[in-house]
Amino acid sequence: MSASTAEKINLLGLNRVQLEDFFESIGEKRFRAHQVMKWIHFFGVDNFEDMSNLGKALRTKLADVAEIRGPDVELESFSQDGTRKWVVRLDNGNCVETVFIPDGDRGTLCVSSQVGCALDCSFCSTGKQGFQRDLTVAEIVGQCWVAHKSFGVPDNKGHRHVTNIVMMGMGEPLLNFENVITAMEIMKDDLGYGVAKKRLTLSTSGIVPQMYELYDRIDVALAVSLHAPNDELRDELVPVNRKYPLKDLIAACQEYVRKFNDSRRVTMEYVLLEGVNDKFEHAEELIELLKDVPSKINLIPFNPFPNSGYRRPNGLRTRAFQERLQQAGFVTTVRTTRGDDIDAACGQLVGQVQDRTRRAAQWQQKVQQKQNKIPLHDASANR
Ligand code: SAH
Ligand code: SF4
């Protein structure tokens, strides 16, 4: 009898070693993993029958015990500036968003790691949604798979549209640590998405203990959501700062540069909120704070969402802030807003998800009510 879908192992979520182990466990040679990885991640195949370099018997055996199951695409939108956004639906009805941003030869995919986020940064719409759950490895990698497939099979030279990946979508990647590490291993692998370590960036709000653990486990680029130059303001904007204050965060950033001991720098992300953290004195404090951290600064003009209570500073103010940091010797860029016509800009990843997430929660409660005959609660109470 065939195994039901629930019992089948989803090969999309296995890194190279895990896939080799899987083949060994079913009595096959380990190198089969390499063939299958290429079919999955390079050719975007989800059917063992299409894997023409595997014998019929192996294909049948695989279909019996395994599957390749990416998330369903609920919506794919195209911005006028070439940005694409996918709303992908996960098994239990939750949705997350993935964004592709083309820029010349470069194509950056912004990937989500959690449904919602528990950290509640005051300017972030994902944070306002609250935390629902961690994504599995297959769900994280599945976002790359969906994006890759939507561009069609790469040409003979293996040119891929996705050249860079940033873990900057919904959620705090370091709070879904193991799954994010395995997913990034697949992203880096030549048989996976072949993204070079410098082109794979993890962005964190500063979960200090996991930052050190990250360095021990994998070599990727590091971005830190700084957003404030002192503890008082950062406590307000990024509440996790109360647990891991700036002194500890800065030490963790210094350790990153020391450990890998090359020319790399930490990217400091700084969302500009008018009148809140964009004044001349903030720039001065920031210069002092970062004087001993090899870093570059990425200013992100605030992307508004309903009832946020914040405003984006105008271009002149933004430019003045940037110039002050540049005068002090910091490479400082201003992130251009991309894809805002399809709500794909930083911090906007929530709108369509929230409606569906709420619908999914209501649906689940209805099912539960049927089963248990319990009264319905307000599905949005904890949001
Ligand atoms: N949780 C991680 C990664 C996801 S957020 C982190 O916080 O680093 C990705 C980036 O978008 C972060 O730098 C975040 O601070 C920024 N961001 C969040 N909301 C924003 C908004 N409304 N406007 C501009 N940037 C925002
Ligand atoms: Fe979470 Fe990052 Fe948003 Fe903060 S900015 S709430 S850590 S997703």
Q: What is the pLDDT of residue 154?
A: 72
Q: Is 346 a catalytic residue?
A: yes
- CA–CA separation, 60 vs 58, rounded Å? 5
- CA–CA separation, 236 vs 234, rounded Å? 5
DSSP 8-class letter at 11: G
Q: Which of 122, 168, 335 to mutate to test the pocket of ligand 1 (most atoms within 8 A of CB)?
A: 168
Half-sphere exposure of 251 (CA within 13 A, CB side): 8
Q: Is 97 a catalytic residue?
A: yes
SS3 49: helix
Q: Which amino acid is at 294?
A: P
Going from the C-alpha of 9 to that of each of 48, 61, 146, the distances in angstroms are: 13, 12, 19
Q: Give the ligand whose atoms come closest to the C-alpha of residue 131.
A: 2
Q: Which of 43, 297, 287, 248 is nearest to 148 (CA)?
A: 43
Domain coordinates in residue numbering, the chain: 3-67, 72-357
Q: What is the pLDDT of residue 152?
A: 82
Give strand pairing partners of 222.
Answer: 202
Are 223 and 298 within 8 A, CB to CB?
yes
Atom number, ligand 2, closest to the C-alpha of residue 117 = 1
Contacts of 175 (CB under 8 A, 6+ apart): 114, 118, 119, 134, 207, 210
Residue 33: Cβ-neighbour burial (10 angstroms; 0-12, 13-18, 19+)? buried
- CA–CA separation, 231 vs 319, rounded Å? 25
Q: How much is the CA Rg of the chain, to the nearest whole Å?
A: 22
Q: For each of the chain's 383 residues, which pLDDT tens digit applies?
A: 445 555 899 999 999 999 999 999 999 999 999 999 999 999 999 999 999 999 999 999 999 999 999 999 999 999 888 999 999 999 888 899 999 999 999 999 999 999 999 999 999 999 998 999 999 999 999 999 999 999 887 766 767 899 999 999 999 999 999 999 999 999 999 999 999 999 999 999 999 999 999 999 999 999 999 999 999 999 999 999 999 999 999 999 999 999 998 999 999 999 999 999 999 999 999 999 999 999 999 999 999 988 999 999 999 999 999 999 999 999 999 988 777 676 666 655 553 544 444 444 444 444 444 444 333 322 222 22
Q: What is the pLDDT of residue 93?
A: 84
Residue linked to tokens 């065939």 = 2
Contacts of 203 (CB under 8 A, 6+ apart): 166, 167, 168, 173, 223, 224, 225, 269
278 lines ligand 1 (CB under 6 A): no
Q: Which of 126, 201, 308 to mutate to test the pocket of ligand 2 (most atoms within 8 A of CB)?
A: 126
Per CATH, 3-67 and 72-357 having the same topology is answered: no
202 lines ligand 2 (CB under 6 A): no
Beta strands in 111-227 (DSSP E): 114-116, 131-134, 164-167, 200-204, 221-225
Domain with residues 72-357, CATH architecture? Alpha-Beta Barrel (3.20)
Given 20, 67, 97, 185, which residue is catalytic?
97
169 lines ligand 2 (CB under 6 A): no
CATH of domain 3-67: 1.10.150.530
181 CA to middle of ligand 1, Å? 20
123 lines ligand 1 (CB under 6 A): yes
Given 121, 124, 253, 346, which residue is catalytic?
346
- CA–CA separation, 146 vs 102, rounded Å? 16
Minimal-distance CA residue to ligand 1 atom 15: 225
SS3 193: coil
DSSP 8-class letter at 153: S
- CA–CA separation, 173 vs 33, rounded Å? 27
Q: Give the ligand whose atoms come closest to the C-alpha of residue 346.
A: 1
347 lines ligand 1 (CB under 6 A): yes
Q: What is the pLDDT of residue 370?
A: 40
Atom number, ligand 2, closest to the C-alpha of residue 120 = 6
